[in-house]
Structure 1
Amino acid sequence: MNSISTGIYKQIKNDMPEIEKCINTNNTSREYWEDLRVKYGVFFIPDIDFHVPRVREGGTYRPWDKVPNYTSELRKLRTYLLATLIKNEYKTDFELSNDFVKNEAKELLKKKLVTEQDVTTSELIILSKIYIDSDNSDHKQFALEKIWDVFERLKTIYGEGNKKKNIEDLIKKISHSTERNKLLFDNEFKELTKIGNEYQIRHFEKDKEPIPSDDFREYLFFRVLSLISYSIIESEK
């Protein structure tokens, strides 16, 4: 997996919304796939293997050029691109931008935050960082959705019991055995859970309190990111 420059990061950032759209709608044309395959397979990331000459479909194999939907391959590319960003995020010559973030907590975007406990969590974190740095409200909303998904996953990846028991164990670990710290983190987990239940964190939750502005989205984003960051770092020491 190659190192990438900030310029390539920006290219990935620009392409990611359309990639996500195609994956979510399960609709990827051959033309769009070929464009990405050439762009990333030849110019940016030459070591990724795109060669799949025949595809199994309904018990039979179809020639690769006859397959109408390339979403499965696009999903592999998305995983590879996110893994590449995770690998390169903390190199001295590579830095995620925060050009469109007003909140002063934006320095958190530069903080190393990768968990070995769960690959999906690391991917969601890097994806949310890409989307929050946008002047598009829909992108910021998507970033908020993804970071809230991480918050929910945080309740399950550090234990084998139910969410309540896992949170109790996580809080005990990150509190350094003081009752005051335990109370603080217990209240914060409960408050953020309440916010998630009452506010329109996910775009389709039309029956919840709408989020009035991008500044409010950034506030919620960095509030939950701060807790996630601290919890992951403390848990994996």
Structure 2
Amino acid sequence: MTEATMEAEALAPADAKEGEVATPVLWADVQAEHLSMLRLAPLPTDRATGGRPLRFVEFGRAERHSKDFSLLRMSYRLPGQKTRKEQNNLDIWVDHANRAVRVGPESGLQIEPWNRGLGRFMLAQGIHWAQKRWSEYRIEGIALANKDALNEDTRMRRDHFLKTQGFEVAYADPQHLKGSVNEAKVGNLNNSWNADKVQIVEILDAAQMLQQADQKIQEQEVTIRKAEDKVSKYRRDDSSLRFTIACLVTFAVFQAGLLIWIATHR
């Protein structure tokens, strides 16, 4: 038995059933190492989640491998926005002894911002990673949180998200409260996502976007300066016209007064 296996078994939950994937904590401190930028396309305002403007987020991932376990850890970071520790994280654990895969964390996938395609993108990345090496492994079934089923719209969104990736959702009651995801073969899952919502931005693409943005800013500055020059010219012309009109009015009043004086002193 390897050191990694002993450590995993020692730290695994005591009530884990035989045959289930043990969730080791030997890589608990692993943080994102490979970073990339994602572009969230602007989408129409949603009645449930509000506005969905253009945004950019940092996507990070890290891998660890041993004889007994493999791990893919993924996370998001949003510039200028704080999130809770349990948000925007997804782990894919592979138990080679049992030829099984588990998706974590146990609290469920919590994504912020919601309804932008990030959850599907992250899960698709995890499926693709597992399929490259362990397509014959099974991904174990899990019970779905009851709180997500209290709102019909939320439940339908969740079920659609899971079914789109190839999972089978089943319910033990007609009220659709006690839901679960059935066990599935890794190779049968769908590793695609909605590329119209989430695009991976490479370094050169990001540099080109910044360059284009800088050029547009410079062009706008030139346009603004030209507009300001025109406004200043119109103001000067307006002042000249006002002065001319005032002189003409004064002269007309003087002429009228002179004519009245001549008429009254004949």
Bigger Rg, which one: 2
More relative contact order in 1 or in 2 (CA 8 Å, sep 6+)?
Answer: 1
Give 1 or 2: higher helix fraction.
Answer: 1
- Relative to its length, the structure with more strand (as a share) is 2
